[in-house]
Amino acid sequence: MVHNVVFVLGPPGSGKGTICAKIQEDFNYIHLSAGDLLRAERQREGSEFGALIEGHITNGTIVPVEITCKLLENAMKAAGDVRGFLVDGFPRNQNNLEGWNAEMTGKVDEKFVLYLSCPVDICISRCLNRGQGRTDDNEESLKKRVVTYNSQTFPIIEHFEKSGQVREVKSERPVEEVYADVVKLFS
């Protein structure tokens, strides 16, 4: 079965998780947050990757694609028959993109990239105030995450942009306004 996939990218705190939850509710798309899958794997008893994942999350660096892609693929297999998947926070760098293409080409139909764009200073203050209890929502980790985003993830968005796959929605606005624009892309 070929799965429809929409990649959802944007800086930390741009609203990817919030918007994906709403799409999942209204359309038959399953939200797969790469970060959430990695956090679950970090917690899983017997996981051989716990310490490695923890190190990357704290430092704002990016887990090798073999781990992340496998978690995404397993989650897709487990979901069964749905309209598609929102792959949130992935691919984040060249390694992610190449590993995904090597493993998933032919298994997925990439519809478009939803790019939630938001000024970084606003993103950082959202993360510091969202109170999700994440170990990486502190000033030091956030600085590192933003450096990684600017140097590694933004170039991936530019890469997709060149092939006309990016749909940008400005996400500095209230959630309902952002979501109203997002809905048009899925209807």
Residues placed in the known binding site for ATP:
13-18, 130, 173
Toward ligand UDP, which CB reaches closer, 35 or 84? 35
Q: Taking CB under 6 A as the rule, does residue 99 contact ligand UDP?
A: no
Within 10 A of 28 (CB to CB), how many other CB atoms are there?
A: 12
> What single letter denotes the amino acid at residue 46?
G
3-state secondary structure of 40: helix
Q: Taking CB under 6 A as the rule, does residue 56 contact ligand UDP?
A: yes
Binding to ligand UDP by CB under 6 A, coded x per residue (else -) over 112-151, reads ------------------------x--------x------
Tell me which of 92, 110, 114, 116 binds ligand UDP, using CB under 6 A.
92
Stretch that binds Mg ion, among 13-21, 69-77, 124-132, 169-177 (CB under 5 A): 13-21
Separation CA 99–CA 63 (nearest Å): 12
Binding to ligand UDP by CB under 6 A, coded x per residue (else -) over 6-45, reads ------xx--xx----------------xx--x-------
- Residues across the chain: 187
Helix 94-104 to helix 65-79 angle (10° resolution) is: 40
Tell me which of 15, 84, 89, 99 binds ligand UDP, using CB under 6 A.
89
From start to end of 20-107, where are the E strands?
29-33, 84-88
Within 10 A of 74 (CB to CB), how many other CB atoms are there?
A: 12
3-state secondary structure of 82: coil
- When CB distances are held under 5 to 8 angstroms depending on the partner's kind, the choice from Mg ion, ligand UDP, none that residue 171 binds is none
3-state secondary structure of 139: helix
Identify whether the C-beta of residue 123 lies closer than 8 Å to the C-beta of residue 16. no
- Tokens at residue 73, please? 């693929």
- Minimum Å distance from CB 180 to ligand UDP? 22
Tell me which of 4, 17, 21, 94 binds Mg ion, using CB under 5 A.
17
Chain positions contacting ligand UDP, by CB under 6 A: 12-13, 16-17, 34-35, 38, 56-57, 60-63, 68, 89-90, 92, 96, 136, 145
